[in-house]
Amino acid sequence: MATARAESVEVLTNNYDNMRHGANLRETVLHTANVAPQTFGRIFSYEVDGPVYAQPLLAANIATQAGGTLDVVYIVTGSNSVYAFNAQSKDKAALWSRRLAQLPQGTTAATSGILSTPVID
């Protein structure tokens, strides 16, 4: 039986909005009665090339070359990489990834690279 896809809530900056409220004010499904260790948790994860310190961002309805749209999760790493994943799929393959620069010699991904959350504008 097919279910309707919930409307995606975009996360374009750290903590959901420019005021950094840290709350998804459009959440209507999750509540204390259905969020418990037995019924709620990690469903899958993505492979990336370094530690992730920044908040993943979500942009909804991104146009694809095939003519459709996807919700896309963007992840940045301490190794200076940016990844885009299909948020509607458990496919672990990135839609694309880019290494922005090599880390300077003698530094590590824990002290260099992308450590803070970018903004989607």
pLDDT digits (tens, 9 = 90+) for 18-58: 888 888 888 888 888 888 888 788 888 899 999 999 999 99
**Residue 5: pLDDT above 70?**
no
Share of the chain above pLDDT 70, in %: 94
Buried b (16+ CB within 10 A) or exposed e, 97-113: eeeeeebeeeeebeebb
Closest CA to 89 of 115, 120, 64: 64
Considering the chain, what percentage of its residues have pLDDT values greater than 90? 48
pTM score of the predicted model? 0.83
